[in-house]
């Protein structure tokens, strides 16, 4: 009887921890928060656009949030993405765009223009600089509220000034918290979204469709999010989540070597997560 019991338990132990190219990785069971895999999980690294998970989380946490509120796109947002050669949602100056649309523009094409618009809208202060600073303060407070000690934001989009960092463990916890919001969940699992905005003259503009930069949505069964990131310092990052057979596995890889490699790393970790989640 003892031997049979040991054999029955064996499959759960059979999965071998995978080797990933990314410099950092972390995976947990989303419902129990049990850690399933770590690789330099608490080493601080540049996060690239995975920062935008917190941007969205802060917006969605605003009291009395109206997702249909219209925001007028300012020239400053457009100038910013051009100056930084940043990923953008190609928002058009003067157009009125809803907060909901800005969130899609933030999370699917990773629009830094959408991030700027949201920070400007939901920060407080009499100048744009003050509002942005206030919004970044809210991002840092949210990290502190989650008990994260290895995370710091100095930007609303990941284009930091040398003081924007997190860890695989912390980013996974931020994403897990954000995924409790139904609007966030809906957005990050969307592959394509077409926004209809209102132009200066009051007509309707149909924007070019935004495509989600998270390739796992198309090539890993059960994927439900979350966000890509990249940059000269960050390299290639991916915060990922998938649900299979009622189990949700969530995790992060930081500083992988290419888009294809971060996806390969994430798939290995998801497979391992599902095999070891029990």
142/62 Cα distance (integer angstroms): 12
Catalytic residue, chosen from 46, 49, 177, 256, is 49
Q: How far is CA 221 from CA 44, 208, 242, 271, in A?
A: 30, 27, 8, 11
Residue in 39, 52, 227, 267 annotated catalytic: 52
Residue 275 CA, chain-centre distance (Å), reads 24
Q: What is the spatial distance between Cα 106 and Cα 202, in angstroms, rounded to a whole number?
A: 24
By CB atoms closer than 10 A (0-12, 13-18, 19+), residue 14 is exposed
Residue appearing with tokens 């931020």: 174
Burial class from Cβ neighbours inside 10 Å (0-12, 13-18, 19+) for residue 11 reads exposed
From 46, 87, 110, 230, the catalytic residue: 110
Helical H runs in the chain? 2-14, 52-60, 75-83, 99-107, 112-122, 128-145, 168-178, 182-188, 216-219, 259-276
110: annotated active-site residue: yes
Concerning whether 96 is annotated as a catalytic residue, the answer is no
Contact (CB, 8 A) for 224 and 245? no
218 carries an active-site annotation: no
Q: Which residue do the tokens 């994927």 mark?
A: 223
Contact indicator for 196, 98 with CB cutoff of 8 Å: no
Catalytic residues, by residue number, are 49, 52, 110
């Amino acid at each position: 009887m003892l031997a049979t019991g040991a054999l029955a338990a064996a499959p759960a132990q059979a999965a071998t921890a995978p080797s990933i190219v990314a410099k950092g990785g972390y995976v947990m069971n989303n419902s129990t928060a049990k850690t399933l895999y770590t690789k330099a999980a608490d080493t601080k690294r540049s996060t690239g656009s995975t920062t935008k998970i917190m941007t969205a989380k802060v917006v969605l946490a605003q009291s009395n949030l109206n997702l249909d509120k219209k925001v007028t796109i300012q020239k400053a947002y457009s100038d910013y993405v051009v100056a930084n050669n940043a990923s953008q949602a190609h928002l058009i100056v003067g157009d009125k765009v809803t907060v909901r649309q800005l969130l899609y523009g933030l999370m699917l094409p990773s629009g830094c223009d959408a991030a700027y618009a949201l920070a400007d809208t939901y920060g407080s202060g009499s100048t744009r600089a003050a509002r942005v600073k206030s919004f970044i303060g809210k991002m840092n407070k949210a990290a502190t509220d989650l008990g994260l000690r290895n995370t710091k934001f100095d930007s609303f989009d990941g284009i930091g000034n040398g003081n924007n960092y997190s860890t695989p463990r912390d980013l996974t916890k931020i994403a897990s918290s954000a995924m409790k919001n139904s609007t966030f969940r809906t957005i990050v699992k969307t592959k394509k979204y077409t926004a209809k905005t209102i132009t200066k003259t009051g007509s309707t503009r149909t924007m070019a469709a935004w495509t989600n930069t998270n390739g796992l949505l198309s090539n890993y069964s059960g994927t439900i999010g979350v966000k890509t990131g990249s940059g000269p310092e960050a390299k290639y990052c991916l915060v990922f989540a998938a649900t299979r057979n009622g189990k949700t596995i969530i995790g992060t890889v930081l500083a992988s070597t290419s888009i294809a490699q971060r996806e390969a790393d994430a798939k290995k970790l998801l497979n391992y997560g599902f095999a070891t989640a029990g």
